[in-house]
Amino acid sequence: MKNAILHISDLHFVANYELKGNSKYDDSYKLRFISGLENGLSKNSLKLKYILISGDIANEGEEREYNEVLIFLNELKQKFNIKKENILICPGNHDITWSALRKTLDGMPEANRKEAYLYHDIKFQSFKKFYHDFFETKKDFICDSAIVDTIIDDEDKLIILGINSCFKESFQKKDHIGFIETKSLENKIKDIFSNIKFNDYDKLLVMHHNPEDFKNESANVKNWEDVSLILNSNFPTTFCGHIHSSRSKGEIKTAGNKYYVSVSSFCKIGKSIKNAFNIIHSIENQKHKYKVLFYEYEEPDSKNPYWLHHNSSEELDEVTLCIKHSDEVLNDLVLNQDKNDFTTLSNNENYKDLIPESISKLENNQYEEYVDMLMRLIQENKLFKTGHFHWSKSFRSHGIIDINYLISNKESINLISHLFYLKFLQVFIDIKPDLIIGIGIEGNVLGARLSILFPECDYSFIPDYLKDNDFSNFEHTIKEGKYKNIVLIKDLLFKADSLKDTIKKEMFNNKNIFVFSLFYCGGENESEIFSSYNNVTHHSICNKIKINLCQHNDNIENCTIIKHSLDLFYPLFSTDEK
Amino acid sequence: MKNLFSAISENETIYFSLHCEQVFQNFNYYESNISSDSGLGYFATELKIDTIERVRQAIETKEFSYKHIVFDFYRINESRNASSEFDLILNLVIEREISISLIRVSEKLYGDLKLKSFKQKNNAFIKEHDTNSYTDIFYKCSKIDTQEYDSFIKTLFQRLFIKRLKEKYLEPNEKIFSNSSNVYLPNYINIKRFIEEKDLTYFGIYLLCKKAISDNLIKEYYNRKDIKKTLLFFQSLNGAYIASILSKLALLDMAYIDHIGPINKIYRTILRNNFDNQNNYLIVSDVICMGTEIEIAKSLIQYENSIVIGNISIVKIEAIKGKQEIETCSLFKLTKENNGDIKYKIETEFK
């Protein structure tokens, strides 16, 4: 079995990939990719040994985006059992943390400012951290060096050199060019060729920008002539990304004795974009020759997308590269017309079984992380208060969660809204809600945010205690049957009692009611608290905090609070008889 | 148009604020730290491809029958990688023979969206605004008043709001007696209905945020260094909705008071924590009529040694002219002059 190289580029990962955005990436996309890659490898009797990523790993160079990349790469590494030293990652222009760079310059007196691109440590701060996190102590990223990484493999007699072509990139338009710092490059090349053993090794270059993009001058490396002089003819083949082309194949350009093999984006959304990956492998018994297999993501009817290995008889679907003797390459372009060479996941019987379990597992992991964040927030800000609180005659608890803080604080409300959003995505798979109702002040603050995340749903709100004569015109439309699936948003639930008066209202008859509460603090199994109602289900965001209720149910007069008139009352705000 | 936030229309013209669309689209992205553009709420400046795609999908629908589109790029500074998607919109409008105005396009955006080629290909009319450093492009438009965009948008929105006020929001008040002020209110403005109808809500709150910033009640995000923290304060269900969205747009914390009960002891503690820092408070309300609720809230906040810097509301009824103690910022001012058709009433025993 031959060793293979996977080349991907321009991942443009956004944070929380399951949300709408610029990226197609989600769990099912990932699984299709893995399956497409597996099929491509097995059909060609290949074992994946190297992964090359030519930049734009993140979309905005933000740390939270790299967190998603870390998950993906670690899974990929684990799945194909790749050693970390065989993974090469170059930065792209989207791996520059624009916000940090801009902020640094904004906060600096104009006279002290250098050219924006010169703040290498700041612009690559998130990429550097990601690099460190992923490779742990094995590799480190040096922000102002041309050399990102070198893979040297004695078994395959292969040297892969990763180059940083974003030396001059910043957030400024004038800096939006490919540029390679030459001093460190020169030293590295000298270093490699000082070792005579490497003379017969095949040498590949990886970078983000296309050295000489003929169609798009702004995308190529501005000082490529200087770089070429340093490289001489020793690295005739460059793997690159940057341009999200409409087709991945045919993107091998020849310039003199050099070949530039580019791959399109990995998971971008866009009408003119074709997502792609390439598999590269050496050809048996043909020294210095490599074959490139092109795969594209096809979405013929948007329902059954799959990764397709080109099979059109009119076009090239594979090329052979002669790494060492580049002048032979044009004669080595070969056609492969194997029409059965589809990698179609929709035909894979295991596909349907695979998706739900994997997705739910991954989503749950992420969801749980956010719930843990919420719990930390509660702990750090001491938001759980113990005591004995009488809210009403029927509702008396031995503790409260300071939901006021959680709702009022802009960071925590963002986190909570996002948790609700994720919970919605988990619950509403086959059916869609058509109306969201916020209950009480807190439910309304949360509901307002959700109404924007689900603009196709109508929105309303009601007070905690809905009196019969409080019905607005809108609530009459609910009764008239315009809505079938209604979501009620509540801050906290102990038991069904606090909502029973609401859901008993005539307007909710014959409707599917989905109660979503931020906290469920009751003792029973939360899925059963509405079991006496056929049409009501309950979903809590966090059920990790349990609060006891006052036990004096039958004889409330024995409760210390009542007995000694200790109940607190703050009349300044009250117009309510309760 | 359910999936759009800013679309307002009159006759055959439809207006979109791309910035408004983008900032609401950004609600989709969770930001644990407000550091990237998508986490900056109203202060975001990048137009992203998914927003353009959403707008295109709306224009593509069969129901879309407008003959003129106005795309307002106010506050959008850049749009990376979205030119191909925007090109689809331009192709679509040409195909459907819709005239289009692209107004307040920044120099950077002009390049990002490759508008030069649109202008050249379609012989579109371009108007340069050197003083404001933005550009307007018009395709197939003969008469366009381009000088006072803010005024044009405000007037259009106000016309729509008044129409809706007369037809829907203004309802007879069965109880008549106002709980908070000692007056009779034979009719009341139902802001809950304004919220439920949705079509003017989001853009309305966006405009309210914009106005509060231009009135200096809310500071630009990057100018907040060394100034006191400002919080949004609300005390009603309607106020909760408005404040929740404003908080996300303007990147402000909130504080509120709800129903009475033992929890007020806790609330009081929390409020005190806030007030101890001597923060600034902006009171968020639905309708300000006689201002009694504002006075109560103000007293409470002042009692806790903090400062009320102003009031933000959807509707302000100017029942009394004269010096205002609290600076107010409202989406719509109901005055003696514009109340003619609306017929809002405040009464006493003396009529």
Q: What is the DSSP string of A549-577?
A: BPS-SS-GGGSHHHHTT-----GGG----
What domains are defined for chain B? 8-147 (3.30.750), 161-342 (3.40.50.2020)
Q: In this complex, is the C-beta atom of B37 within 8 Å of any C-beta atom belonging to chain A?
A: yes
Distance CA A353, CA A356 (A): 7
A237 and A162 inside one domain: yes
Q: What is the DSSP string of A323-346?
A: SS-GGGGGGG------TT-EE-GG
Q: Which two tokens stand for residue B211?
A: 């106005």
Interface test with B, best of A272, A377, A441, A575 (most B CBs within 10 A): A441
List CB contacts (< 8 A) between A575 and chain B: 179, 260
- Asked if pLDDT for residue A81 goes beyond 80, the answer is yes
Q: Which of A472, A184, A132 is nearest to B169 (CA)?
A: A472
Q: Is B49:B83 a contact under the CB 8 Å cutoff?
A: no
Picking from A442, A459, A571, the nearest residue to B198 by CB comes out as A459
Task: Dump pLDDT digits (tens) for A375-415.
Answer: 988 988 888 877 777 666 666 777 888 888 899 998 899 99
Q: In this complex, is the C-beta atom of B196 within 8 Å of any C-beta atom belonging to chain A?
A: yes
C-beta neighbour count of A232 within 10 angstroms: 10
Distance CA B180, CA A530 (A): 39
Q: How many CB pairs under 8 A join A and B?
A: 191
Which of the pair, B269 or A476, is modelled with greater confidence? A476
Q: Which two tokens stand for residue A277?
A: 């990956």
Distances (CA, A) of B108 to A397, B45, B105: 58, 11, 8
C-beta neighbour count of B167 within 10 angstroms: 8
Q: What is the pLDDT of residue A89?
A: 96
| Residue where a domain stops, chosen among A305, A324, A348 | A348
CATH code for the domain in which residue A190 is found: 3.60.21.10
Is the CB of A418 less than 8 angstroms away from the CB of B30? yes
Is the CB of B81 less than 8 angstroms away from the CB of A270? yes
Helices (DSSP H) in A107-159: which residue ranges? 120-123, 125-135
A262 and A390 inside one domain: no
Which of the pair, A513 or A271, is modelled with greater confidence? A513
A119 and A150 inside one domain: yes
CA atoms within 13 A on the CB side of B244: 31
Interface test with A, best of B6, B36, B229 (most A CBs within 10 A): B36
Distance CA B237, CA A444 (A): 7
A552 and A429 inside one domain: yes
Which neighbouring-strand residues pair with A514?
A487, A537
Examine residue A362 and state whether it is found in any structural domain, yes or no: yes
Amino acid type, B237:
L
A109 and A174 inside one domain: yes
Provide CB contacts within 8 A for A474, sequence distance 6+: A460, B192, B193, B196
A463 and A519 inside one domain: yes
Interface test with B, best of A94, A414, A492, A541 (most B CBs within 10 A): A414
Q: Are strands A384-390 and A435-439 parallel, antiparallel or unpaired?
A: unpaired
Minimum Cα–Cα distance from A574: chain B residue: B260
Q: What is the pLDDT of residue A216?
A: 61
Distance CA B13, CA B22 (A): 21
Three-class DSSP labels, A269-291: CCCCCCCEEEEEEECCCCCCEEE
Three-class DSSP labels, A100-121: HHHHHHHCCCHHHCCCHHHCHH
A342 and A365 inside one domain: no
Identify the band that residue A430 occupies on the pLDDT scale cut at 50, 70 and 90.
confident
Is the CB of A571 less than 8 angstroms away from the CB of B260? yes
Provide CB contacts within 8 A for A471, sequence distance 6+: A507
Distance CA A364, CA A67 (A): 16
Examine residue A235 and state whether it is found in any structural domain, yes or no: yes
- Local structure of residue A260 (DSSP, 8 states): E
Q: Is B310:B339 a contact under the CB 8 Å cutoff?
A: no
Task: Please state the separation of Cα B338 from the chain's center in Å.
Answer: 21
C-beta neighbour count of A575 within 10 angstroms: 9
CA–CA min distance A320, chain B (Å): 32
Q: Which of B166, B242, B164 is nearest to B206 (CA)?
A: B242
Examine residue A328 and state whether it is found in any structural domain, yes or no: yes
- How many structural domains comprise chain A? 2
Q: Which two tokens stand for residue A152?
A: 């040297």
What percentage of chain A exceeds 70 in pLDDT?
Answer: 78
Amino acid type, A383:
L
- Of A155-159, A392-396, B74-78, B242-246, the range with the highest mean pLDDT is B242-246
Q: What is the pLDDT of residue A368?
A: 85
Instruction: Tell me phi and psi for residue A252, to 5 degrees.
Output: -100, 120
Provide CB contacts within 8 A for B131, sequence distance 6+: none
Length of chain A: 578
- Whether ipTM > 0.90 holds is yes
Distance CA B96, CA B69 (A): 12
A34 and A103 inside one domain: yes
| Residue where a domain stops, chosen among A313, A348, A383 | A348
Examine residue A559 and state whether it is found in any structural domain, yes or no: yes
A398 and A525 inside one domain: yes
- Asked if pLDDT for residue A60 goes beyond 90, the answer is no
- Local structure of residue A548 (DSSP, 8 states): P
Task: Dump pLDDT digits (tens) for B138-195.
Answer: 888 765 555 567 777 888 899 999 999 999 888 887 766 666 667 788 888 999 999 9
A12 and A112 inside one domain: yes
Window 124-163 of B, Cβ < 8 Å to A: none
Which neighbouring-strand residues pair with B313?
B285, B330
- Asked if pLDDT for residue A138 goes beyond 50, the answer is yes
Which of the pair, A332 or A274, is modelled with greater confidence? A274
CA angle B230, B231, B235 (to 5 degrees): 150
Which of the pair, A255 or A442, is modelled with greater confidence? A442
Distance CA B197, CA A518 (A): 26
Q: Are strands B170-172 and B187-189 parallel, antiparallel or unpaired?
A: antiparallel
What is the arithmetic mean of pLDDT over A333-358? 30
- Asked if pLDDT for residue A354 goes beyond 50, the answer is no
Q: What is the pLDDT of residue A282?
A: 84
Helices (DSSP H) in A179-283: which residue ranges? 182-193, 224-231
- Asked if pLDDT for residue A512 goes beyond 50, the answer is yes
Q: Which two tokens stand for residue B169?
A: 């929001």
CATH code for the domain in which residue A543 is found: 3.40.50.2020
**Angle between helix A63-79 and helix A27-43 axes, rounded to 10 deg:** 40
- Asked if pLDDT for residue A329 goes beyond 70, the answer is no
What percentage of chain A exceeds 90 in pLDDT?
Answer: 29
Examine residue A181 and state whether it is found in any structural domain, yes or no: yes
Examine residue A187 and state whether it is found in any structural domain, yes or no: yes
Q: Is A478:B52 a contact under the CB 8 Å cutoff?
A: no
Q: Is A290:A266 a contact under the CB 8 Å cutoff?
A: no
Examine residue A578 and state whether it is found in any structural domain, yes or no: no
- Asked if pLDDT for residue B33 goes beyond 70, the answer is no
Identify the band that residue B348 occupies on the pLDDT scale cut at 50, 70 and 90.
confident
Q: In this complex, is the C-beta atom of B48 within 8 Å of any C-beta atom belonging to chain A?
A: yes
C-beta neighbour count of B223 within 10 angstroms: 9
* Among the ranges given (A5-14, A78-87, B45-54, B296-305), the one the predictor scored with the smallest mean pLDDT: B296-305
Distance CA B278, CA B340 (A): 43
Examine residue A377 and state whether it is found in any structural domain, yes or no: yes
Q: What is the pLDDT of residue A558?
A: 75
| Residue where a domain stops, chosen among A296, A321, A348 | A348
Q: Which of A210, A277, A59 is nearest to B38 (CA)?
A: A59
Based on the number of CB atoms within 10 Å of its own CB, is A393 exposed (0-12), middle (13-18) or buried (19 or more)?
A: exposed
Q: What is the DSSP string of B229-297?
A: -EEEEE-SHHHHHHHHHHHHHHT-EEEE--S-STHHHHHHHHHHHHHHTT-EEEEEEEEESS-HHHHHH
Q: Mean pLDDT across chain A, nearest whole number?
A: 78
At residue B43, the 3 state secondary structure works out as helix
Picking from B84, B88, B244, the nearest residue to A445 by CB comes out as B244
Q: Is A183:A144 a contact under the CB 8 Å cutoff?
A: no
A449 and A553 inside one domain: yes
Interface test with A, best of B22, B26, B190, B259 (most A CBs within 10 A): B259
Q: In this complex, is the C-beta atom of B247 within 8 Å of any C-beta atom belonging to chain A?
A: yes
Which of the pair, A243 or A168, is modelled with greater confidence? A168
Q: What is the pLDDT of residue A355?
A: 32
* Among the ranges given (A228-232, A559-563, B340-344), the one the predictor scored with the smallest mean pLDDT: A559-563
Minimum Cα–Cα distance from A272: chain B residue: B84
Q: Which of B165, B155, B250, B163 is nearest to B206 (CA)?
A: B250
Distances (CA, A) of B32 to A16, A245, A410, A522: 11, 33, 10, 29
* Among the ranges given (A225-239, A400-414, B100-114), the one the predictor scored with the smallest mean pLDDT: A225-239
Give the range of the structural domain holding residue A538, as residue numbers without chain letter: 356-573
A130 and A162 inside one domain: yes
Picking from B85, B195, B263, the nearest residue to A400 by CB comes out as B263
